[in-house]
Structure 1
Amino acid sequence: MKYKILLALFLFITVTIHSQRIENNPEFKNRNIVIDTTKTISKIVELDKVVKGFGPSGNRSIVIATRDLISKEELKGYPIMKNLPDSLTNVKEYLFILNDFQFYYQNYKQGVYSKDLFIKKAKGNRRKLEDTIYLTNKKVKNTISIVSGITSDNRIVYIVDSNNNNDYSDDELKSLLIDLRKQDDIINNSQFVDIEYFDGKTIKKDKQLISVSNQYRSKDLSFRFPQFRYGKVKLGNENYLILSESFSFNQSIYLVKDQPYFDKLDQKHNIYPSQYLNIDGYYVQYSKVSQNNDKIKLTISSNDSENKITPIANQVGMLAPKLSGINVLNDLKISLNEFKGKYVFLDFWSTSCAPCIKEFPYIKKAYDKFSRNEIEIIGIADIRGKIDIIEFIAKNNVTWPTINEEDSTTRMEGYNINSWPTTYLIDPTGKIIATNLRGKDLSNKLELLGVAKKD
Structure 2
Amino acid sequence: MKISVFLTILILLFNYDFEIKAQSDTDSVQVTIQLELPANTPKNSEFFFASSINGFDPGQGFGWKDRSMPFKKNNGTWELTISQPVGDTVHYKITRGTIYSAEENIDFTYRNPRQLIFEEEETVKVTVEAWHDIPAKNMEHLWPVAELKPVTNKTFKYNENVFDWMGTILYADDIVRYFYGDQIRGLLRNITPVFEDTVVYYQITSKAPDNSLIVVSGKEPKDSLWSIYVDQNNDNIISDDEYVFKDQDSSFTWKGLIQYDRLEGEKIISRTTKAEIKLARDLPSAYSSSNRKDAPNLTYAFPTAQRKATLSNNGESRTIYFLNFFEYLFTENLQVYVDRNSDDLLQMGSGTNEDLSVNVNDINRADRYYFYPHFQLGNQMYEIADVDPHGTWVRFRPSFEEPEEKLAIIEIGKPIPTWKASTLEGNSISKEHLKGKYVLLDFWGSWCGPCIEELPYLKKAYKKFKDNNLEIIGLAYDAVNSTKKTISEYDINWPQVIDDGEFNTLFRIQGYPFQILVNPEGIIVETGGALRGAKLEKTLRKYLD
Q: Which residue of 1 aligns with 2:98?
A: none
Shift, 1:66, TM fit: 0.6
Counterpart Cα distance in 1 of 2:415 and 2:263? 37
- Assess if the C-alpha contact under 8 Å between 2:308 and 2:320 holds in 1: yes
* Shift in Å, 1:174: 1.9
Match of 1:209 in 2: 273
- Identify the structure with bigger relative contact order (alpha carbons < 8 Å, sequence gap 6+): 1
Equivalent position of 1:244 in the other structure: 323
Counterpart Cα distance in 2 of 1:78 and 1:425 = 46
Counterpart pick for 1:66 among 166, 169, 172: 172
Judged with a 3 Å threshold, the aligned counterparts in structure 2 of structure 1 residues 311 and 326 are, in CA distance, closer, same or farther, namely same
The amino acid of 2:260's aligned partner reads V
Change (3 A) 1:285 1:220: same
Assess if the C-alpha contact under 8 Å between 2:188 and 2:236 holds in 1: yes
Letter in 1 for 2:148: E
Cα distance in 2 between the residues matched to 1:161 and 1:81: 17
Q: Which amino acid aligns with 2:203?
A: F
Give the alignment partner of residue 390 of structure 1, picking from 473, 477, 487. Answer: 487
> Residue 190 of structure 1: which of 253, 257, 282 is its match?
257
Match of 2:496 among 398, 402, 412: 402
Superposed CA offset, 1:275-333 (max 9, x none): 66688x98976758466766566677799xx86x9624675569848664542xxx214
Closer, same or farther: CA 296–313 of 1 in aligned 2, 3 Å: farther
> CA separation of 1:265/1:234 partners in 2, compared to 1, >3 Å: closer, same or farther?
same
C-alpha distance in 2 between matches for 1:54 and 1:142: 31
For 1:353, the equivalent position in structure 2 comes to: 449
CA distance in 1, matches of 2:417, 2:321: 26
Distance 2:539 2:391 in 1: 36
Residue 438 of structure 1: aligned partner: 531
Question: Quick check: 1:157–1:176 contact (8 Å CA) kept in 2?
Answer: yes
Match of 1:222 in 2: 299
Residue deviations 1:363-403, cap 9 Å, x none? 5268616537xx66333264797982332341xxx332113
Cα offset, 1:241, TM superposition: 8.2
Q: 1:207 to 1:151 in 2, by over 3 A?
A: same
Kindly indicate whether the alpha-carbon contact (under 8 Å) linking 1:42 and 1:300 is maintained by their aligned counterparts in 2.
no
Aligned-partner residue type, residue 513 of structure 2: P
| Per-residue CA distance 1:421-446 (angstroms, 9 max, x = gap) | 02345689989786535248878888
Please tell me whether the aligned partners of residues 244 and 253 of structure 1 are also in contact (alpha carbons under 8 angstroms).
yes
Give the one of 234, 243, 256 matched to 1:175.
243
| Alignment correspondent of 1:419 | 511
TM-score by length of 1: 0.52
Report the Cα distance in structure 2 between the residues aligned to 1:222 and 1:84, rounded to whole angstroms: 23
- Aligned with 1:231 (options 308, 312, 317): 308
- The alignment partner of 2:444 has SS state of strand
- Provide the residue aligned with 2:184 in structure 1: 79
Q: Which has the higher strand share?
A: 2
- Indicate the RMSD between aligned Cα atoms, in angstroms: 6.0
Q: Cα deviations across residues 25-66 of structure 1 (Å, max 9, x unaligned)?
A: xxxxxxxxxxxx999976645144589x99941567632221
Q: Deviation at 1:78?
A: 3.8
1:46 aligns with 2:46: no
* Cα contact 2:205–2:211 (8 A) shared by 1: yes
Task: Summarize deviations over 1:138-196 as a string: whole Å, max 9, x none.
Answer: x887963414144869764232584xxxx72599962224779899x83xx12242245
8 Å CA contact 1:47, 1:243 repeated in 2: no
Relative to structure 1, the CA distance from residue 319 to residue 54 in structure 2 (aligned partners, 3 Å threshold; closer, same or farther) is closer
Query: 2:426 & 2:417 partners in 1: Cα distance?
Result: 22
Partner of 1:332: 426
Offset from partner CA, 1:193-232 (integer Å, 9 cap, x none): 224599xxx9998968352434146965431213442337
1:77-156 to 2 correspondence within 5 Å? 77-82=182-187, 84-87=189-192, 88-89=194-195, 90-97=197-204, 144-150=212-218, 156=228
Query: Which has more radius of gyration?
Result: 2
8 Å CA contact 1:140–1:196 kept in 2: the answer is yes
CA distance in 2, matches of 1:270, 1:296: 19
Question: Is 2:476 the counterpart of 1:380?
Answer: yes
Q: Taking structure 1 as reference, are residues 293 and 41 closer, same or farther at Cα in structure 2, changes over 3 Å only? A: same
CA–CA separation in structure 2 for the residues paired with 1:82 and 1:210: 21
Aligned partners of 2:518 and 2:380: how far apart in 1? Answer: 21
Q: Helix, strand or coil for the counterpart of 1:93? A: strand
1:158 aligned to 227, 230, 233, which one? 230
2:369 corresponds to 1:271: no
- C-alpha contact (below 8 Å) 2:475/2:497 kept by paired residues: yes
Per-residue deviation at 1:273? Answer: 1.8
Aligned in 2, Cα 1:85/1:69: closer, same or farther, shift over 3 Å? same
Structure 2: how far apart are the matches of 1:364 and 1:315? 23
Question: Which one-letter code corresponds to 2:190 in the other structure?
Answer: P
> In 2, distance between residues paired with 1:227 and 1:314?
26
The amino acid that maps onto 1:157 is: Y
Q: TM-score, normalised by structure 2?
A: 0.45
Code of the aligned partner of 1:194: D
Measured at CA, do residues 142 and 424 of structure 1 come closer, stay the same or move farther in structure 2, by a change above 3 Å?
Answer: farther
Q: Which runs of 5+ in 2 are unaligned?
A: 3-108, 111-138, 282-294, 359-372
Distance 2:416 2:156 in 1: 34
How many residues are treated as equivalent by the alignment?
A: 349
Relative to structure 1, the CA distance from residue 434 to residue 63 in structure 2 (aligned partners, 3 Å threshold; closer, same or farther) is: same
Three-state SS of the structure 1 residue aligned to 2:169 is coil
CA change 1:376–1:219 in 2 (3 A) is closer
